[in-house]
Structure 1
Amino acid sequence: MKDDFKSLTPEDLKKEILSSSEEVRKARFQFGVTRSLENPKVIRNHKKRIAQALTVLREKELTAKGKLKQIAPKAGSAPKAAKTSKGKKK
């Protein structure tokens, strides 16, 4: 889904943010006042869409200013896990 946002222009991202925030407002009203919301996860899903759109919008702004560099992940290497000790310390 985040890849879908990367292909949008900043104006389209702002429209998406406004429409999703409007949907959150409507869903909260339905859930809080009338208790007639069929699926309460709608609120969470729209909030996630808003956060993803805001993140991509900020990335585009920073990239345009030259403050953000694209870092490619290393091929074939997984991040190392931290060691945890299960016994008593000596």
Structure 2
Amino acid sequence: MEMSKYSEQDDMTAKNPLSVIFKHVGSTITVVLKSGEKYTGILSKVDNYMNLLIDEAIEEYGDKTTRYGRVLIRGNNILYIQLNKL
């Protein structure tokens, strides 16, 4: 079986999560925090520290659901981010 060829630059692009997140500004995302809260909304802004500004955010924590106009999530609190296809 032949392995597909890739360049070192392709490898670097695949390993840079910030570049992927920057491409999803304006899209709906879901963010799960280390503390268990889950936020879903439209990614408005992101910075180099992976701080996220989410509009039309919905917070889910346990059985409770709360709607917010805008939330700011500090990057070091993020467990994972789920992105929708572009």
Query: Larger radius of gyration, structure 1 or 2?
Result: 1
User: Which has the larger share of helix?
Assistant: 1
Between Structure 1 and Structure 2, which shows a larger proportion of strand residues? 2
Higher RCO (C-alpha under 8 Å, 6+ residues apart): 1
Q: TM-score, normalised by structure 2?
A: 0.23
TM-score, normalising length: structure 1: 0.22
